[in-house]
Amino acid sequence: MPETGLPSFAADTGVTAVEPGRWSATVHEGWDIAGNANGGYLLAIAARAMAGAAERPDPVTLTAHYLSPGRPGPVEVRTSVVKSGKRFTTVQATLVAGDRPLLAVLGTFGDLAPTEGAPAPSRVDDSPPDLPPVDECVPLVPSDDAGGMPPPFARRVEIRMHPGDAGFSRGRPSGEMRLRGWFRLPDDQPLDTLALVLASDAYPPTIFNADLPVGWTPTVELTTHVRARPAAGWLRCEFTTRFVTGGFLEEDGVVWDDTGTLVAQSRQLALVPRPV
Amino acid sequence: MPETGLPSFAADTGVTAVEPGRWSATVHEGWDIAGNANGGYLLAIAARAMAGAAERPDPVTLTAHYLSPGRPGPVEVRTSVVKSGKRFTTVQATLVAGDRPLLAVLGTFGDLAPTEGAPAPSRVDDSPPDLPPVDECVPLVPSDDAGGMPPPFARRVEIRMHPGDAGFSRGRPSGEMRLRGWFRLPDDQPLDTLALVLASDAYPPTIFNADLPVGWTPTVELTTHVRARPAAGWLRCEFTTRFVTGGFLEEDGVVWDDTGTLVAQSRQLALVPRPV
């Protein structure tokens, strides 16, 4: 537990109001992948400031465009409320390091606590991924090498991959552009809707399971929809890719909580570099 | 053809630079659904101004949050370039009518003209929807009634729905939350990447094919990824919904051009009102 007394995810994404529309924060050590901070982690910092500006706790839909890699050190979130309505508040933001913009973000925030009264109509035409028990899944174990794989980031989250999707880490990609598995924060840290933003970008790229000459896929944009606050316990995640075309790929995520409730849906657009 | 000499989509989404970061435009008559301008049409106006600000022609990924309904009359687009890089430029924008914000938008723009050199690796794990010929599909015919269904908007686009998905318009929903069909602009207007933004929000809601007591689904947010400039001819579109939960639904779109190339992918988050 860090010195703030907060669990590490909450502490490491903490923001401090400087003046209206300006929030200071720190990109902490250990959240990086090959030296660059994980995209979901950076977005969670921005989202915490935006929720503060919105005075509403939960991101309902959140889109980040990734402009420059984030490295450990001080950052600032600049927020601007575009509209505050009866149920939702929409906020534009940038996350900057010095004068360098790292993220441009647009988000709508609300309160996803369960409400009274007649529920809206619902229908679910899909189901959580069928996963072996956590103990039979494959942990993403942090590397002890600087710059090694899996990355230091793997200490900040607990990921257990479906054995059928984990072969890529031993040089045996499944051939299917899919990664399924469990997710939680270490030490039983509580899961809030900001942790869902983190979960939506925490898995290795789906393309690692394709037989394509692609080593890295920088995110251009990530959108996460939060449908509900998650129950305590492990999350079930499924990430899939259908289209690697024109130098881009999408990665679609679906996240379910331990009670079988859909809690988040995500999609990112990433670059597919040409072979060198 | 309108008096500008431009095809109507280009003319009706036209913008004029007022000063750096400010663009004037007009929400034209006839693009509405029950009195409110179609969301893809409004976004195309904003995107045209943003492309101007970016000095790059094609939206690569574009996200709009819908704040208030748009009605015919003058509007302004306010643009702010967050970063201009080697390949892409990222722009924040708002579309406002007087002082009322209608849309908050975040977009990254580039040039999707085909390039020389080795292509990036590619793989497509899906295929265009299997559609009967255009003449055997069901047109969405504009209503002559003010406020009637189908809406006046149906004159601005040409939509031919798969007969298996069109039963909802005669009170016989298919039961599957899916709408497939053809799309083009009337009078053989050229299709550019802004027309893909329009196409991604032009179809009736997928939920019209579900047996749920839902009459309208206001869009909260729409994200469109443009993968390629479309070839001339009809587009093949498929819109699906898997999750109607927590008062929200997503609608996923995939758009292919006449040569079988994936040209756009979209997702929107919409509200599912409680029954009254």
pLDDT tens digits, residue range A77-129?
999 999 999 999 999 999 999 999 999 999 999 999 988 888 889 999 999 99
Task: For chain A, positions 89-148, list CB contacts with chain B under 8 A.
Answer: 90, 92, 94, 101, 104-106, 108, 112, 117-126
Lowest mean pLDDT of A134-148, A228-242, B12-26, name the range: A134-148
pLDDT tens digits, residue range A246-260? 999 999 999 999 999
Residue of A76, A74, A69, A67 whose CA lies nearest to A28: A74
Question: Is the pLDDT at B222 greater than 90, yes or no?
Answer: yes
The residue ranking higher by pLDDT, B148 or B102, is: B102
Residues of A whose CB is below 8 A from B120: 244, 246-247, 272-275
Q: What is the mean pLDDT of chain B?
A: 93
pLDDT tens digits, residue range B95-113? 999 999 999 999 999 999 9
pLDDT at A210: 93
8 A C-beta contact, residue A63 and residue A92: no
pLDDT band for position A146 (cuts 50, 70, 90): low
pLDDT at A2: 52
CB distance from A61 to chain B under 8 Å? Answer: yes
Q: What are phi and psi of B105, to 5 degrees?
A: -135, 145
Lowest mean pLDDT of A45-49, A147-151, B134-138, name the range: A147-151
A124 bridge partner residues:
B243
Percent of chain B with pLDDT over 70: 94
User: Given A104, A119, A245, which is nearest B92 (Cβ)?
Assistant: A104
Token pair 């109607």 in the structure block, residue: B244
Question: Is the pLDDT at A1 greater than 80, yes or no?
Answer: no
Residue of B30, B106, B40, B59 whose CA lies nearest to B239: B40
- DSSP string over B2-63: -TTSS-HHHHHT-EEEEETTEEEEEE-TT-EETTEE-HHHHHHHHHHHHHHHHT--EEEEEE
Q: What are phi and psi of B243, to 5 degrees?
A: -130, 110
Q: What is the ipTM of this complex?
A: 0.95
Residues of A whose CB is below 8 A from B275: 118, 120-121
CB contact under 8 A, A124 and B244: yes
